[in-house]
Amino acid sequence: MGDVVGEPGRKALARRLKGLQEELAVDFTVVNGENAAGGRGISGKQCIELLKAGATVITTGDHVWDQKDLPGYIDTEPRLLRPCNYPQGTPGSGSVVLDTPKGPVAVLNVRGLTYLNPPLDNPFVRAAEEVEKLRAQTPVIFVDFHAETTSEKIALGRYLDGKVSAVVGTHTHVQTADEQIFPGGTAFLCDAGMCGAADSVLGRTVESILRRFLTGMPTTLPVARGDVVLCGAVVDIDPSSGRALEIRRVRETVPAE
């Protein structure tokens, strides 16, 4: 599931995620939670909330440290990841391997460099290093590449083709329609989209975003309310080889309570 934006996104997932898992026969769910806390970052409380809603692993991105309790919390919850290309010694981990009834599944969280701050280690080099370690434990590897540009996302997908099961992008909050399986057997989607208010600009109120663009002045950007669109992707994977068999987009509107 794509970036969860604030309370509306969290509550919609709590209401609908387990139903989607049952209807789509989902065994393992990765949720990007980096905007779960009021639209910026994620706290320990919101991590627990998303896990209870049905997330197996929670990934993050450039807002990972925006909530002050997160650095002290992340080492206590291995299912909450931060990008693997942060420097050595940063709290938390960029990957995890979890046992499931169908075999071990690895999740790798990577952050892009283009237009994002602070500068991090090269995502291509670090991802390749992590993938080599993960492949010693399982061929089933899901990569959340949190990046701004489509070119960087496609390039990493191509670079990891045949080495991981899927590369799905997050960060832009806009679901793309380029789902495909690369020649080496890696499923790819530029961006999973968001879990946030449908009547919004990337999950924020329309008026506040327009004010920012029209005036150029610093503006608060409240999280929008109302009906929520849940966006993501489902990847079918051969557990013995790790090759993707199919990838399809998910998009559903959850009416406001």
CATH number of 8's domain: 3.60.21.10
pLDDT at residue 67, as a whole number:
96
Q: How many domains does the chain have?
A: 1
User: Per-residue confidence at 181, pLDDT binned at 50, 70, 90?
Assistant: very high
The Cα angle at residue 110 between residues 173 and 37, in degrees rounded to 5: 50
Side by side, which strands form the sheet with 228-237? 3-4, 194-197, 228-237, 244-254
- CA pair distance 94, 148, nearest whole angstrom: 19
| DSSP codes of every residue in 106-148 | EEEEEE--TT-SS--S-HHHHHHHHHHHHHTT-S-EEEEEE-S
Using 50, 70 and 90 to split pLDDT, how confident is the model at 98? very high
Which residues make beta-bridge pairs with 80?
Answer: 58
- How much is the pTM? 0.97
Q: How far is CA 40 from the centre of its chain?
A: 14
Residue 65 confidence (pLDDT): 97
Mean pLDDT, the chain, rounded, equals 97
The boundaries of the domain holding residue 99 are 3-252
Domain membership of residue 257 (yes or no) is no
What is the model's pLDDT at position 24?
A: 96
CB 64, CB 144: distance < 8 Å: no
Q: Is the pLDDT of residue 75 over 90?
A: yes
Reported as a pLDDT band with limits 50, 70 and 90, residue 196 is very high
Indicate if the pLDDT at residue 150 is higher than 90.
yes
- 14-53 residue pLDDT tens: 999 999 999 999 999 999 999 999 889 999 999 999 999 9
The catalytic residue positions are 63
129 within a domain of the structure (yes/no): yes
pLDDT of 162:
98
Which pLDDT does position 257 carry in this prediction? 84
141 pLDDT higher than 90: yes
Which range among 8-12, 24-28, 38-42, 92-96 shows the weakest confidence by mean pLDDT?
38-42
pLDDT > 90? residue 109:
yes
How far apart are the C-alpha atoms of 9 and 15, rounded to whole Å?
10
Cβ burial 53-89 (10 Å sphere, 16+ → b, else e): bbbbbbbbbbbbbbbeebeebbeeeebbbbbbbbeee
Residue 87 within a domain: yes
